[in-house]
Amino acid sequence: MLQKIIVTGGCGYIGSHTVVELISNNFEVVIIDDLSNSNKKTLERITKITGVCPSFEHIDLKDIEKTKSIFKKHNDAVAVIHFAAFKAVAESVKEPLMYYRNNLLSLINILEFQIEEGITNFIFSSSATVYGAPEKLPITEKNEVQRPFSPYGNTKKIAEEILEDLVKTSSNLSAISLRYFNPIGAHESGFLGELPNGIPNNLMPYITQTAAGIREELHVFGNDYDTKDGTPVRDYIHVVDLAEAHLKALQRLLNKEQEKPLEIYNLGTGNGYSVLEIIKSFEKTTNTSLNYKIVKRRPGDVEKLYADTTLAEEKLNWKCKHGIDEMIASSWKWEENLKNEQ
Ligand code: UD1
């Protein structure tokens, strides 16, 4: 019998790529998603790639009773991978309560009912935003955690603190928190990728939508930072590499290789690219010319963020396989496929 994994937010960007990885490695997957920022069509896309349609539960995880009964129904699961959360930074600044309510109540409900049902393994989708504006680069897991600039980011920090407290109790919980740097890219088939609702906030979907003619012009937020070309530097990581890291974290939990009840890992490549470098690489890879202009800084943006990936390499036995050109080419293939679908 296959081992069952509950994946919340499995219809979303990173969740869906992780579901593909899990199915391809012979796990049975149950997706729980409220479809608030995703689409049921993702199930068809996953099926097209893997030949298997995962089970799907359309549930709002803030709902205590429904969450309780869904965990009872799937109490034969061996782990939960929790992606379901709101993630738009600017929106979280405008609607902090909506973010705290959604991201934290759902987390609390999941943890309560998975523990009640004896499902003791948990993987959390965290973010490099918990490092704030780091003084030391590259960022190791020992870097100080700072108050993130946005309520969105703060929900990630608080969630990790909840986990920290919970593993100290007799809950038997074994948890791994994965701090993502900047996920971009899409599945190599071109059938799965990022599908932002409305106007994208993040750089890569904004670039591909501008090149596809959906957006008129890309705004580059500031070129007066203390970086190689004045634009901010980020550690962009291919979403398929990220998905594979979840698989490795899961195997570590299932094989009981954990050294402490809550482990934390950075997931990045260790390489920093500036916004202008990404644009140049996009233009070169896709042989197009991007319409962009430099505008003023976006409030809350950090100058430089890139990971030290040593810990994940050593303990998860994981390393990124894809370079920046592959990340960009796959994002573009996905965007072009989307255009052809319409
Ligand atoms: C942000 C969040 C991060 C979150 C991630 C995914 C912070 C500090 N960062 O990352 O926590 O996990 O989104 O939602 O809260 N840029 C442009 N023009 C654009 C868009 C972006 O120039 O139209 C630039 C930004 O200034 C930045 C870089 O591109 O320098 C990357 O931006 P983005 O993709 O939004 O990611 P982050 O802000 O790094």
pLDDT digits (tens, 9 = 90+) for 108-124: 999 999 999 999 999 99
pLDDT in tens, 220-278: 999 999 999 999 999 999 999 999 999 999 999 999 999 999 999 999 999 999 999 99
The one-letter amino acid code at 306 reads Y
What's the confidence (pLDDT) of residue 170?
A: 84
Mean predicted confidence (pLDDT) in 47-59: 98
206 is catalytic: no
Dist. CA 47–CA 305, nearest whole Å = 36
- The CATH class, in words, for 4-185+237-269 is alpha beta
Among candidate residues 152, 180, 225, 265, the one labeled active-site is 152
pLDDT > 90? residue 339: no
What's the confidence (pLDDT) of residue 341?
A: 83
Mean predicted confidence (pLDDT) in 7-11: 98
pLDDT > 90? residue 196: no
Element containing residue 219 per DSSP (H, E): strand 218-221
Q: Which residue's CA is the nearest one to ligand 1's atom 34?
A: 202
What's the confidence (pLDDT) of residue 218?
A: 98
What's the confidence (pLDDT) of residue 99?
A: 98
Most ligand 1 atoms within 8 A of CB, residue of 145, 154, 202, 229 to mutate:
202
Cis, peptide link before residue 183, omega less than 30° from 0 = no
Dist. CA 150–CA 192, nearest whole Å = 29
CA of 259 from ligand 1 middle (Å) equals 33
pTM comes to: 0.97
Q: Could you state, in order of their start, the residue ranges of all structural domains in the chain? A: 4-185+237-269
CA of 286 from ligand 1 middle (Å) equals 22
Average pLDDT, the chain: 97
Element containing residue 56 per DSSP (H, E): strand 55-58
Where residue 190 falls among pLDDT bands split at 50, 70, 90?
very high
46 near 15, Cβ under 8 Å? no
SS3 300: coil
What residues form DSSP beta bridges with 219? 293
pLDDT in tens, 304-337: 999 999 999 999 999 999 999 999 999 999 999 9
Q: How many of the other CB atoms lie within 10 Å of CB of 80? A: 24
**Residues contacting 89, CB < 8 A, separation 6+:** 149, 150, 152, 153, 201, 300
Most ligand 1 atoms within 8 A of CB, residue of 37, 145, 221, 239 to mutate:
221
Instruction: Give ligand 1 pocket residues (Cβ under 6 A).
Output: 87, 89, 127, 129, 149-150, 153, 182, 201-203, 206, 218-221, 232, 234, 275, 298, 300-302
What's the confidence (pLDDT) of residue 28?
A: 98
Q: Which residue's CA is the nearest one to ligand 1's atom 36?
A: 202
Mean predicted confidence (pLDDT) in 159-177: 96
Rg for the chain (alpha carbons), in Å?
19
What's the confidence (pLDDT) of residue 197?
A: 83
Question: How much of the chain exceeds pLDDT 90, in percent?
Answer: 96
